[in-house]
Amino acid sequence: MGKPTGFMDYNRKELAMRPAKERLHDWDEVKTSSLPHKKDLQTQAARCMDCSIPFCHSGIMLNGSLSGCPLHNLMPEFNDFVYHGLDHFAYARLNKTNNFPEFTSHVCPAPCEGACSAGLVNDPVSIKNLEQYVIEQAFASKLVKPNKPSHRTGKKVAIIGSGPAGLACADELNKAGHYVTVYERADRPGGLLMYGIPNMKLDKKLVERRVELLKKGGVEFSLNSEVGHSVSSDMLRKQYDAIVLCTGSTIPRDLPLPGRDLDGIHFAKDYLHSTTKSLLDSKMKDGKAISAKGKDVVVIGGGDTGTDCVATALRQGCKSIRQIEIMPCLPHSRTPNNPWPEFPKVFKTDYGQEEAIEVFGKDPRQYCISTKEFIGKDGTVDKLRICQIEWKNVNCMMTPVEIPGTEEIIPAQLVLLALGFIGTEQTIFDEFKVQRSQQNNIVADDQEYATSIEGIFAAGDARRGQSLVVWAIAEGRKAAAAVNKYLSEK
C-alpha cells in the first residue's frame, strides 16, 4: 500500500467530461481526449487501501447482482504500481487478467467501485479512470504488442461472433497456439462493441486498434459471414476441431401493443446500428441512418441503451425527447436492502440525460409510465397513449396498476424500444442442434462451457443471457481455457 491514509487525505476525482454544450455538436467521445496529469492519477491511486477485504476483485453474485470484478482484476496491485510510478508493472498486472482494458474502462458500470471498501466511508477509488490510464500509457509506451504464440498446435477453432466474448476467446486460444478464425455476420468486427455502443461512448478507433493487434497475432476474421446463410454449420464442423458460439443475446424484447405495426417504431439496437454504420461509412452523409431530425422522440426503456438512444437522437436534431420507464425511480443513496458490497442500485444522471437537460432544460426521464397504444397518421406512428402506474402487491406479486385519470396522449414520430434482450437467435439452435435453456440461451455448464454437442462450446451472452461487457470477456477467457483443455486431451 502506497499511502495508508490516502483515502482520507484525498478526494475522489473523475476523468473530465467535455461540456454537454460542446459535445452535442459532434460524435466524438464525451470524455476529454487527454488523460489527467500523471501526478493526479498517482493521487487517485493513493486512495486505494490495499485492504484485507478486497471485494473489488471478488466477482461474486450477491442478492442477484454482481459484486466486484468477474475478471478478478487485481486493482490494489496495479493501483500501488501507479502510485509508485511503475506504469509498466501496472500494465503487466492488468494485462494478466483483462484482455481489453480499453473497453472495460470506457463502458463497464464498474461493479469493482461499488464493492470498494473506501466507499463505506466516503467515495470509492476511481478504478475505471486508473484502468484507462494504465492501458493508454501502455499503448503510448509501445508495451502492448501482438500475442504471437511461440508454436502452433495444428488445431483449428472457429469462433462465431466477434463481440467481447468472441474476441477474448480468440485472443486466449491464439496465445495457446491454436489456429483461430472468427466469423462475424456484420461488415466490421467487434459485435456489440462496434455497432451496439455509440461512438461517443466508445470510440471505434479503440476497437479497430485491438482487432488489428489480434490480426497481427495470427487471428483471422471472416466478415459478412452469417451461419445458416453464407456459412453452414456442417462446413464448420468438418473444417474445425472445435467451435465456440459467442453470438450474444440478440433478440430484442418487443412491445406488442395496438399500432405496433406502424412505421417509425424501431428496436434500439437497429437504431444505434444504423447510426454507427452511417457514421463510419460516410460521416452521416449517406442518409442511411434512422433519423430523429425534427421529430418528437420517445425512448421506452430506462437502461444504458435507452440513454445511448437519447444521446444519439439529440445529435441528430430531434424536436423533443422523452425517456419513459415503467419502473419507479431508484433511490439517491443505498437502501438497507442494498448494502455494501452489493452493486449500488442508486439514481444517476448519465451523459445522455445531461445533454437533454442542456438542450431542453429538463431531465427527459419519466418513471412509472406504461404505454397503452401506438397511434398512427398515414401509416406512421404519430402519438403514444400512456398512463401512470403504481406498483401494488397483487397475489404476492408486485404488479403495475394503472392510476385512474392519468391517461394522456403524447406526440411521438419516432419510438425507440430499449427494453433489453430475451435470448439467442433461433438460427443457432437450428444449425448446431445445441440444447436450449428455459431462458432461451444455449445450455453450457459453468466449468467446461461445453454444449450438448461434442466439440461445440458457448460463452458470453449467448450462454448466460444479456449481461455486461466485463462478464463477456471473463466468459470468453474461461471458455478458451476449456477448449484448450478439450483439444489437448483430444
Give the separation between CA 488 and CA 490, rounded to whole angstroms.
5
- For residue 194, the surrounding DSSP H or E stretch is none
Residue 341, preceding peptide bond in cis (omega within 30° of 0): yes
Domain that holds residue 66: 6-140
Phi and psi angles of residue 95, each rounded to the nearest 5 degrees, phi first: -65, -20
Residue 351, C-beta contacts closer than 8 angstroms, at least 6 positions apart = 17, 20, 30, 200, 201, 307, 311
In terms of C-beta density within 10 A (0-12 exposed, 13-18 middle, 19 or more buried), how is residue 86 classed? middle
Give the separation between CA 364 and CA 410, rounded to whole angstroms.
14
Q: Are residues 375 and 437 located together in one domain of the fold?
A: no
Q: Contacts for 425-433 with beta carbons within 8 Å, 24 or more apart?
A: 425/247, 425/250, 425/251, 427/227, 427/228, 428/160, 428/227, 428/228, 428/245, 428/247, 428/462, 430/228, 431/227, 431/228, 431/232, 431/233, 432/233, 432/243, 432/245, 432/456
pTM: 0.95
Q: Are residues 271 and 401 located together in one domain of the fold?
A: yes
The domain boundary, picked from 417, 441, 458, lies at 417
Q: Are residues 446 and 402 located together in one domain of the fold?
A: no
pLDDT of residue 231: 95
- Residue 164, domain member (yes or no): yes
In terms of C-beta density within 10 A (0-12 exposed, 13-18 middle, 19 or more buried), how is residue 102 classed? buried
Q: Are residues 83 and 44 located together in one domain of the fold?
A: yes
Q: Are residues 283 and 381 located together in one domain of the fold?
A: yes
Phi and psi angles of residue 455, each rounded to the nearest 5 degrees, phi first: 85, 0
- Residue 150, domain member (yes or no): no
Give the separation between CA 309 and CA 299, rounded to whole angstroms.
7
- Residue 480, domain member (yes or no): yes
- Residue 386, domain member (yes or no): yes
pLDDT of residue 1: 64
What is the Rg, in whole angstroms, of the alpha carbon atoms belonging to the chain?
23
- Residue 260, domain member (yes or no): no
The domain boundary, picked from 364, 395, 417, lies at 417
- Residue 293, domain member (yes or no): yes
Based on the structure, what is the number of domains in the chain? 3
**Amino acid sitting at position 133:** Y
**Grid coordinates of 209:** 486498434
- Residue 146, domain member (yes or no): no
pLDDT of residue 467: 93
In terms of C-beta density within 10 A (0-12 exposed, 13-18 middle, 19 or more buried), how is residue 7 classed? buried
Q: Nearest to residue 94, comparing CAs of 132, 65, 59? A: 132
Per-residue pLDDT of the chain (490 residues; tens, 9 = 90+): 668 888 889 999 887 889 999 999 999 999 876 667 788 889 999 999 888 888 999 899 988 888 999 999 999 999 999 999 999 999 999 999 999 999 999 999 999 999 999 998 889 999 999 999 999 999 999 999 999 999 999 999 999 999 999 999 999 999 999 999 999 999 999 999 999 999 999 999 999 999 999 999 999 999 999 999 999 999 999 999 999 999 999 999 999 999 999 999 999 999 999 999 999 999 999 999 999 999 999 999 999 999 999 999 999 999 999 999 999 999 999 999 999 999 999 999 999 999 999 999 999 999 999 999 999 999 999 999 999 999 999 888 999 999 999 999 999 999 999 999 999 999 999 999 999 999 999 999 999 999 999 999 999 999 999 999 999 999 999 999 999 999 999 7
Q: Are residues 242 and 269 located together in one domain of the fold?
A: no
Give the separation between CA 110 and CA 9, rounded to whole angstroms.
23
Instruction: Report which DSSP code applies to 6.
Output: H
pLDDT of residue 33: 65
Q: Are residues 405 and 427 located together in one domain of the fold?
A: no
Q: Nearest to residue 64, comparing CAs of 290, 457, 342? A: 342
CATH assignment of the domain containing 274: 3.50.50.60
Torsion, CA 365, CA 193, CA 36, CA 117, rounded to 10: 70
In degrees, to the nearest 5, what angle opens at C-alpha 404 toward C-alphas 400 and 409? Answer: 90
The domain boundary, picked from 77, 109, 140, lies at 140
Give the separation between CA 399 and CA 148, rounded to whole angstroms.
55
**Amino acid sitting at position 291:** S
**Amino acid sitting at position 189:** P
Q: Distance of CA 237 to CAs 159, 168, 233, Å?
A: 12, 22, 6
Give the separation between CA 257 and CA 412, rounded to whole angstroms.
15
